[in-house]
Amino acid sequence: MPALVLLGAQWGDEGKGKATDLLGGSVDYVVRYQGGNNAGHTVVVGDQKYALHLLPSGILSPGCTPVIGNGVVVDPSVLLSELSGLNERGVDTSKLLISGNAHIITPYNVTVDKVTERFLGKRKIGTTGRGIGPTYADKINRVGIRVQDLYDESILTQKVEAALDVKNQILTKLYNRRAITATQVVEELLGYAEQIEPYVADTVLILNQALDDDKVVLFEGGQGTLLDIDHGTYPFVTSSNPTAGGACTGAGVGPTKISRVIGILKAYTTRVGAGPFPTELFDEDGEALRRIGGERGVTTGRDRRCGWFDAVIARYATRVNGLTDFFLTKLDVLSGWEQIPVCVAYDIDGERVEELPYSQTDFHHAKPVYEYLPGWQEDISEAKTFADLPKNAQAYVKALEDMSGAPISAIGVGPGREETIEINSFL
Ligand code: GDP
Ligand code: IMO
Ligand code: MG
């Protein structure tokens, strides 16, 4: 049985945690392939609510092996506190596997993230402040620290010293901060080593062997397509590749193994942090989406910016990810509007544009061109089949499907596992 990728089709927070958890019971492995604890994935199981940041959402499914792939950046203190938090709630986390090649978010990476944002002032990205960008920068600059380095003190010390040589110059001379001493960092990192060691494994080998043995592997993206460092709204993006190709590099699995790519798509749009957002609302409709949808960041507690559904973005996500399916979430949030605007194209300086412009300048000028679909008033959270939905809700889903370029195979009508309408099976 092949590999599936599940990723965000918009700017993150589409409901990936819920969708992953839903499939978790039927898959053998759930793998995070990029990002780190900038993610905040909510999973609701019965009356229990979990907020996962670094750990794959599959950790809540007993039969499933959760994997942190080589493409992920790991903050060891967050990892250990997330594990102990789950253990205290009775979740068995002993099957977790962590790639020895995953990079470590060091304390100085977190510092650099925060001071850089402060220094950018008005032009800041609005990062989560978790050290994500600086850690990936170190990886690309070849001065990163990897999980496996925790098990060779001499190498670890040399690497931390090399990384701090340059960083301390920047911190002290540019940002007017105190220098960070290598010994302190090494000591802190070594303090985590023993607790993490049982999980460290050659995840590339294990995952490829699992696929050879016909096991089902699900790759769970963090963030979303428009936050991708290559394909998102650069520079207002994260520093990794949430798009489908990222699953291959971030887990060491060839593209020929991936048979299904599921885009998680919110029935409207949200964004956290800075950057362009054509359908953003600044009126009472935006306020209502935020309130009814509970649109508040799981990681930073920031209010999410809210707007109507943007079909241009959904089409773009279909294209750059090769999506085979959509999982449409939060349709229930849209109950109660007379009519629901859907952005079908952009007006860019007087010209109608159907596809996402590659130019940042054009995208900043994009004004939504709306079509107005009739709304519905009924509470749909009890709907179990597509036929249970009011006619106008069915028409809304069909319209989104036609505009977005891939079949909508599941619909979320509430945060719980069972509050899902399955149309086509994913497995
Ligand atoms: P993720 O980062 O993509 O996993 O998404 P988040 O967890 O950050 O945000 C999604 C929020 O929507 C969470 O609070 C989920 O519990 C909730 N959610 C997911 N699917 C649905 C749905 O279909 N309906 C409703 N009402 N809430 C949902
Ligand atoms: P999940 O997995 C929404 C945003 C930040 C900021 C930008 C860069 O829950 O969907 P970073 O700290 O990554 O350098 O911040 O990316 N961002 C997210 N927005 N959901 C997320 O994760 C996000 N992870 C990062 O708000 O705009
Ligand atoms: Mg989230």
DSSP per-residue codes, 134-163: HHHHHHHTT---BGGGGG-HHHHHHHHHHH
Distances (CA, A) of 288 to 22, 171, 280, 285: 27, 43, 13, 5
Q: What is the pLDDT of residues 244-299, one digit of tens each?
A: 999 999 999 999 999 999 999 999 999 999 999 999 999 999 999 999 999 998 88
Between CA 347 and CA 365 the distance in angstroms is 8
Q: What average pLDDT does this structure show over 157-178? A: 95
In 14-149, the DSSP E strands lie at 29-32, 41-45, 48-52, 65-68, 73-74, 97-99, 103-104
Ligand 1: residue of 10, 11, 18 to mutate (most ligand atoms within 8 A of CB) is 18
Neighbours of 212 (CB within 10 A): 9
Q: Which CATH number applies to 103-198: 3.40.1010.20, 1.10.300.10, 3.30.420.130, 1.10.10.10?
A: 1.10.300.10
- Is 224 near ligand 1, meaning CB less than 6 Å away? no
List the residue whose alpha carbon is closest to atom 6 of ligand 1.
13
pLDDT of residue 5: 98
Query: How many Cβ atoms sit within 10 Å of the Cβ of residue 139?
Result: 19
Site residues for ligand 2, CB cut-off 6 Å: 8, 12-13, 38-41, 125-128, 130, 132-133, 222-224, 227, 238-239, 272-273
Residue 195, Cα to own-chain centre: how many angstroms? 26
Angle of the 311-321 helix axis to the 391-404 helix axis, nearest 10:
50
| Interval 54-75 mean pLDDT | 97
Q: Is the pLDDT of residue 1 over 90?
A: no
The answer to whether residues 39 and 264 touch, using CB atoms and an 8 Å cutoff, is no
C-alpha 332/C-alpha 70 separation (Å) is 37
The answer to whether the CB of 415 is under 6 A from ligand 1 is: yes
- CA separation for the pair 152, 271 (Å, rounded): 41
DSSP class per residue in 317-384: HHHHHT-SEEEEE-GGGGTT-SEEEEEEEEEETTEEE-S--S-HHHHHH-EEEEEEEE---S--TT--
Mean per-residue pLDDT for 408-419? 96
What is the number of the ligand 2 atom nearest to the C-alpha of 133? 14
| 195: enclosing H helix or E strand | helix 182-196
Closest C-alpha among 23, 5, 42, 39 to residue 330: 42
Residue 411 phi/psi, 5° resolution? Answer: -135, 130
What is residue 300's predicted lDDT score, i.e. its pLDDT? 87
Mean per-residue pLDDT, 389-411: 98
Average pLDDT over every residue of 83-87: 98
Query: pLDDT tier at 2 (50, 70, 90 boundaries)?
Result: confident
Each residue's pLDDT tens digit, 46-62:
999 999 999 999 999 99
In the reported structure, the alpha carbon of residue 210 is separated from the centroid of ligand 3 by a whole-number distance in angstroms of 28
CA atoms of 214 and 27, how far apart (whole Å): 11
d(CA 98, CA 94): 11
**CA separation for the pair 265, 7 (Å, rounded):** 9
Is it true that domain 3-86+204-422 has CATH number 3.40.50.1470?
Answer: no
Catalytic residues: 13, 41
Report which protein residue has its CA nearest ligand 2's atom 16: 238
Atom 5 of ligand 2, residue of closest alpha carbon = 127
68 C-alpha to ligand 2 centroid (Å):
18
Beta carbons within 8 Å of 411's beta carbon, 6+ residues apart: 327, 328, 329, 331, 386, 389, 397, 420, 421, 423
Place of tokens 């942190």: 68
Span 156-163, average pLDDT = 97
Contact criterion met (CB below 8 Å) for 336 and 375: yes
CA of 223 to the centre of ligand 3 (A): 7
The CA 15 to ligand 1 mean position distance, Å, reads 4
| Contact (CB, 8 A) for 95 and 67 | no
Distance 128 CA to ligand 2 centre (A): 6
Question: What backbone torsions phi and psi does residue 269 show, to the nearest 5 degrees?
Answer: -130, 145
Residues 12, 167: Cα–Cα separation, whole Å: 30
Q: What is the pLDDT of residues 304-363, one digit of tens each?
A: 999 999 999 999 999 999 999 999 999 999 999 999 999 999 999 999 999 999 999 999
Quick one: average pLDDT of 173-201?
97
286 lines ligand 1 (CB under 6 A): no
pLDDT of residue 206: 98
Minimal-distance CA residue to ligand 1 atom 27: 415
Distance 132 CA to ligand 2 centre (A): 9
How is the chain split into domains, by residue range? Answer: 3-86+204-422, 103-198
CA distance 396 to 308: 13
Count the neighbouring beta carbons within 10 Å of the beta carbon of residue 121.
7
Atom of ligand 2 nearest to the CA of 38: 24
Q: In the predicted model, what is the mean pLDDT of residues 389-404? A: 98
How far apart CA 66 and CA 121 sit, in angstroms, is 38
pLDDT at res. 298? 86
Nearest ligand to the C-alpha atom of residue 264: 1
Query: What average pLDDT does the chain have?
Result: 97
Q: Is the pTM of this model over 0.95?
A: yes
Q: Which of 5, 16, 42, 269 has the most ligand 1 atoms within 8 A of CB, as the residue to mutate?
A: 42
| 19, two tokens | 């969708």
Amino acid at 24: G
